[in-house]
Amino acid sequence: MIILITGAGGQLGKDLIRKLSQMHSVYSFNKNELDITNKALVEQTINNISPDIIIHSAAYTSVDDSEINKNLAFEINSIGTGNVLNTARKSGARFIYISSDYVFDGKKTTPYSEEDNTNPQSVYGWSKLLGEMITLQYDNSTVIRTSWLYGHDGRNFVKTMLELGKQKREIRVVHDQIGSPTYTNDLAEFISVLSKSDKRGIFHYSNSGACSWYEFAKAIYKEAGYDADLVLPTTSQAYNALAPRPSYSVLGHNRLLKEKYPLPRHWHEALKEFIQKEKSI
């Protein structure tokens, strides 16, 4: 099978390359190699490869910067997605789009199902939702919503906490945003399995369980052998981030259960493996 991956420079993209290249012919492109906002370039690149599957993980992911660079966020996450999707449609390739828990408003107190109404609170969330809407216009497509990603490549919350822990000083982390951390290695494995099926529509995939960013940070410190008492709670209001975040964005795994896929392992188990691997790098 021939698979094309966009966003190859990102943490998920790199895990996808490692996972899928073991079994398939993989063509991968980072943002410097394929500008997805360039429609003609996208068409030329995809048509030259004629992939069976396109995994579209390229995105503008800076949630706060999206509030300032609104046009850029929509240009990449929405219009760029449309460029890739339209070429996939013409060629008949299957299209898998990686979306976000930030398409929800966070007003629920129980996990969001794939059927729940979306209502983004940020420019980033709206740009990703529009990407979903574009994707779902094509019947040979799948949307995978995920949350709180971290992996071994690039910057993420876990790596930031591991660096701060070395400084042995107090840090404050918000305790009023609840979600599910997700190890990119686990998500890449699920995408690999899903790519072998003909399942369409929307899936939620995150590691099981839920926590606040504060609880997540304390768990990171404990697993790394740092003093977890140095992690102190604060509020979203006090943190004063530019973009609003959903206060609760836990993703339910209704579709996984329905389709009889194994449920993802608990986020704490995944975190433990991640930190052990980071120590060996």
Radius of gyration (C-alpha) of the chain in whole angstroms: 18
CB 231 within 8 A of CB 171: yes
Instruction: Give which of 62, 56, 87, 60 is closest to 75, Cα–Cα.
Output: 60
Query: Among the options 124, 205, 214, 221, which is catalytic?
Result: 124
Helix (H, G, I), strand (E, B) or coil at 211: strand
Task: Collect all residues with Cβ–Cβ distance below 8 Å to 154 and sequence separation of at least 6.
Answer: 9, 10, 11, 14
| DSSP character at residue 210 | -
Beta strands 178-179 and 149-150 are: unpaired
Helix (H, G, I), strand (E, B) or coil at 213: helix
d(CA 15, CA 36): 20
Residue 239 known to be catalytic: no
What residues are labeled active site? 124
